[in-house]
Amino acid sequence: MELVANNKVAGGWHKRYRHASQTTDCEMTFAIFLPDIASSVKKVPVLYWLSGLTCTDENFMQKAGAFKAANALGIAIVAPDTSPRGELIPDDNEKSYDFGLGAGFYLNATQAPFDKHYQMYDYIVKELPEIIESHFPVTTQRAISGHSMGGHGALTLGLKNSDRYSSISAFSPIVHPMRCPWGIKAFTGYLGNDKSQWEDHDAVLLMQNKQYMTARPMLVSQGSADNFLDEQLQPWHLQKAAEAHNYPLQFEQHDGYDHSYFFIASFIDQHLAFHAKYFA
């Protein structure tokens, strides 16, 4: 791994690394915040944060204001990139923001030319935690959270891997991607036209599937003034699925908040405390 940045912040350390990924067959970047108590003697649990469309590892670390609470709670935060990057990585032909670079949707692509590099599911669930747990003073306790497309990733990865995450949370997540434009475009491009292959990446359908019903506590925060609420996010589908299957979902709608990092910064401390409770 190559250390790209190293910053003292809120008593702990923010570090940014670049490494060669076997899973995505390219160079990947991630950032990690380590609280001041993290050491070879005192290892700490990890919250994996998945960012949304167009973002990199830097958005959350620079805008969320999470470091003071994370340091006080003794939680490390890992923020990976949202897709593979590089000159040889295939992108959307139209260079749109909602597909290709910056829009990996946290799944394993099966369609050429994306299938060679866009293996974000395996990168987040398997390769990245192995790297983190091998090189940093952290435990194997993990939680997962994210925003928008990253909220979709947090919900689906958390539901499908309840043995790996003690709790799940999301801000403004895409909960039913099979029924929204962002999801339909991404699933068609990455997974093909067979919609039966899409079902394994839709949080609402996963919550309805008994195979994934080893429930982990889930917190979802949604702003009422989110301009993507009705067309893309549609959180009521997740609420209905949780009610029908007695899933432990804590859903909170916050009046006046939009889709931006102003919303995340307003409630990130609550999410960190939520995960800390289940780490304990």
- Report, as residue numbers or ranges, the catalytic residues: 148, 226, 259
Strand partners, 28: 19
Q: For the residues of 229-248, what is the DSSP string, one character each?
A: IIIII-THHHHHHHHHTT--
Question: CB of 163 within 8 A of CB of 157?
Answer: no
Question: CB of 189 within 8 A of CB of 99?
Answer: yes
**Cα separation, 153 vs 192, whole angstroms:** 19
For the beta carbon of residue 252, count every other beta carbon within 10 angstroms.
11
Task: Please compute Rg for the chain using Cα positions.
Answer: 17
**Cα separation, 44 vs 119, whole angstroms:** 28
How are beta strands 249-254 and 218-223 bridged, if at all?
parallel
The stretches of 82-215 forming alpha helices (DSSP H) are: 120-122, 128-135, 149-160, 181-191, 203-208
Residues 6+ apart with CB under 8 A from 207: 159, 238, 241, 242, 245, 247
